[in-house]
Amino acid sequence: MHTGVVPDGPVLAGRYQVRLLLHRSARSRTWEAYDPILDRSVAIETLDPQCGPEARAAFRTAALQSAQCSHHGLVAVYDTGDDRGTAYVVTERVVGTPLDTVLATNGALQLRDAAAIVTQAADALAAAHAQGLNHG
């Protein structure tokens, strides 16, 4: 869900120029940002600052565990930290059309296309589980 560009958005951790809110959930926000050091677009998930210490610890643990996973079907974790009370995780920015948008626009997928997506997702989940990561 694109909710708009952040004009002259904030700089997170003295590095990441926040540009666009991509997704909002009850406990976090996902942003598109620019990393000037590596000259690339990244995704940043920020935890709601109102979340308690247990949620913050779980957020950091998940980031550290995810950073240990390497698979073509999983986003790469580049960085994690806390900036003035905002916990964050920086990952690769995957560009594409979300599946829910494809379904809303085109209707049901052909069986072979659906099977290909499920196979890819299962392969990525199996790799994550093999490396000790459980998707929340």
pLDDT value at residue 136: 59
For residues 77 and 89, the answer to whether their CB atoms sit within 8 Å is yes
pLDDT value at residue 102: 93
Write the pLDDT tens digit of every residue in 56-70.
999 999 999 999 999
Q: Where are the alpha helices (DSSP H) in the chain?
A: 53-67, 99-106, 111-130
The pTM (predicted TM-score) of the whole model is 0.85
pLDDT value at residue 1: 43
Rounded CA-CA distance 15/13 in Å is: 5
- 100: tokens are 């829910």
Residue 88, SS3 per DSSP: strand
User: What angle (nearest 5°) sits at the alpha carbon of residue 58, between those of residues 28 and 15?
Assistant: 55
pLDDT value at residue 131: 86
DSSP per-residue letters across 12-39:
ETTTEEEEEEEEE-SSEEEEEEEETTTT
Sorting pLDDT into bands at 50, 70 and 90, what band is 5? low
The total of other beta-carbon atoms located within 10 Å of residue 111's CB is 8
Q: Is the pLDDT assigned to residue 88 strictly greater than 70? A: yes
pLDDT value at residue 98: 87
Bridge partners for 81 per DSSP: 88
pLDDT value at residue 2: 45
